[in-house]
Structure 1
Amino acid sequence: MEQWVDMRTLADALALRLADLARIRWEKETGGITIDGAAIATDRESQSLITGAWVRCQQHPDVLIDWKADSGWVKIDRATVEAIADAVGSHVQACFTCEKAHADALTVLDTIAAIDAYDIAAGWPA
């Protein structure tokens, strides 16, 4: 009977897990959030649009922004834009912070078995 031999090096195993970890962070980061029952997209394009709306509100504090929501068009004021931008920014940062914590934990493991067994799916923001 032939036995399968794992030819990966420790560095190979770590690189694969870190790539999986980055994929999970990307999915969580860009998967969207909910604020007061409203779905807010957090893909990179939406992050950019939210940042642009925030910048506009800083330059023009009394502006009302026409925003296309899932339910249709709404007008949002500076306070609403700032709340959305803060929530999205906090979500994105939490995703990167979680990825870093997992990466730090993975890089100190000294066996392929330990790297493979480490749960990279735990602890992500909702």
Structure 2
Amino acid sequence: MNSPPKPTPAELEMLRLLYELGPATAKQVHAAALAARPELTYANVLRQLQVMHGKGIVTRDESARAHVYAPAQEQASIQTSLLKDLIQKAFAGSGKALVLAALRGGHVTARERAEISALLGEDRLPD
């Protein structure tokens, strides 16, 4: 079985909301999206979810009057796929270059840096 296509930035936004909410109707996703994007209409959210369903990025439960949407893949799986793509395209395949860029670029908080150091010191980084 082929994996779904890589989500667009707009689709990633919808996925992020679905990961936070759990399975949800378009109305629930729209309500959650309004905090960050008050200009976003219900019709746009519904259409985006329908397109994502057509692409296989989300599943749709049609057993109730209001369809319930959920991500087709676990969040970690999508993140891993996007990260692999980013490492290949932007860092010539070097995970080390990605990590160093994140550490140098101010994208890691002091607390996160301490957690990373502890993991490295214990040599127990997750696979």
Asked if TM exceeds 0.5, the reply is no
* Higher RCO (CA < 8 A, seq sep 6+): 1
TM-score w.r.t. length of structure 1 = 0.29
Query: Larger % of strand: which?
Result: 1
When Rg is computed on C-alpha atoms for both structures, the one with the higher figure is 1
